[in-house]
Amino acid sequence: MSIDHPSFGRIDANRVIIFDTTLRDGEQSPGFSMNLAEKLRMAEALEELGVDVMEAGFPVASKGDFDSVHQIAQKVKNAVVCALARSGGKNDIASAGEAIKPAKRGRIHNFISTSPLHMKYKLRMEPETVLEVIEAGNRAARQFTDDVEWSAEDGSRTEPDFLCRCVETAIRAGATTINIPDTVGYSTPEDMARIFADLRARVPGADGVIFSTHNHNDLGLGVANTIAALKAGARQVECTINGIGERAGNAALEEIIMVLRTRHDVLPFTTGIHTERLLRTSRMLATITGFDVQPNKAIVGRNAFAHESGIHQDGILKNAATYEIMTPESVGWTRSSLVLGKHSGRAAFRDKLKAMGYDALEEAQFNEAFSRFKDLADRKKVIYDEDLVALVDDEVRDHARIRFISLDVTAGSRRPATADLVLEVDGARREGHAEGQGPVDAAFNAIRAIVPHDATLQLYSVGAVTEGSDAQARTSVRLEEDGKLVDGQGADADTLVSAVRAYVHALNKLLVKRDRAEPAALEA
């Protein structure tokens, strides 16, 4: 049965709305953080991917969050731009309404906890008070937009009768989308199917709203629970690129989409996602957050379409369908690997980057990337796609406050290592000299000499971009300061330069995160 929706008009019964929350829930991943420019780049990529709704942030949380939602609302042309708000927050809904005002289509997503555990210990509210807050919050949101979503936080652990009362209250107060999140990833697919079937059967007005499912992955069931909810009548899925999010993350958008596409025989649903852009969007997010996708990650991991077993390779050569249930090209992978050389010019380099999805580089970023490519071509015999991805990603990462310029290191077994480092900090050139227990320690101490800070190094990891002793190094760094975690990445043919680039990337993110604050707790 089709449904009329204020933002989408008449929606076919099998059309699934893709609600992406990478920019809001996803950014709450430990160590992840995006500045305004990065959020705008990601919003543009999500729109090109074809998401229906993008949750752009939590405007009341900080001025930075408000500004990012407001500017995304100005920039996005096709997707609904959504702002999060607490149903009973003093200024939440007004702030959300103001933030989405420029949007062609805007949504306010308000929420409150409904489980006995959350009501007693988090909210310290009685059930009747929660019902009053739900009604007031949704009526207030309708003053700003006709597209209002309400979520029952910890809905999967809420008593069924009370959940029905909450949903009925939200619908009566004007909510047009009802979201039942598995906030802590506790549920099984059977639980989710029962919850949605029960609500659709028992709640007055349920046939006139979109039911939405939002599943966390604490037990590894995020995607499975999402599919179960769809089969039980939900028609909006809330998900993130690469499955990022708090703790073990959210249900992964790319996995949900390819399940629906690959198993259309038993899941006859449609979406507006352009699947060939999945890999490109995944890689962009990994670059921005400084956190690589695990190699065996479904759909977008580098091993997702790799075959080492001789039996598998033989089958693939005879007929790809023997061991591949989808084509690599369908999600954005390409078969080519060997690329440019040291004699390649700017035009060939630009064409190659465009073919790889880097068609929106600023001129300064392109020039620096080309310069680094020529330097790499002089030092490395064979250059692969992965090499280009590594060095270009390095240029488009956040360098808003601090930028690497140069590094000279001396090290050996008979004397302390020393590092002479040059950084650009807020537009000014600064130099630092330091000693250390080894070359990496000396380089990191030189960073501290130039940019004093109290963050501690929680993770330092080095890997090779491609095979061979001349492979570029890709370094990951995690810093912690006052409970705030940030991840950084860097790549270079020189392992030490790669390490400094990663540390500088993380430090830039830490400067952004310092300015953020949590809104005051909501209590009775």
**Residues in binding site for Mn(2+):** 25, 214, 216, 250
pLDDT at 313: 47
pLDDT lower than 50: segments of the chain: 309, 312-313, 316, 336-338, 523-524
Give pLDDT tens digits for 276-287. 999 999 988 988
Q: Give 286's contacts (C-beta < 8 A, 6+ positions apart).
A: 242, 292, 293, 393
Cα–Cα–Cα angle for 50, 52, 58, nearest 5°?
Answer: 115
Phi, psi for 464 (deg, rounded to 5): -95, 140
Cα 26 from Cα 7, distance rounded (Å):
24
Q: Percentage of residues in the chain with pLDDT exceeding 90?
A: 66
Cα–Cα–Cα angle for 392, 397, 403, nearest 5°?
Answer: 105
pLDDT at 411: 93
Cα 276 from Cα 188, distance rounded (Å):
31
Give pLDDT tens digits for 498-514. 999 999 999 998 988 88
What is the Cα Rg of the chain in Å?
Answer: 25
Classify each residue of 137-150 as buried b or exposed e, where b means 16 or more C-beta atoms within 10 Å of its C-beta: bbebbbebbebbbb
pLDDT at 156: 97
pLDDT at 132: 98
User: Pairing between strand 473-481 and 9-11?
Assistant: unpaired
**Residues in binding site:** 25, 214, 216, 250
Phi, psi for 121 (deg, rounded to 5): -100, -30
| pTM of structure | 0.84
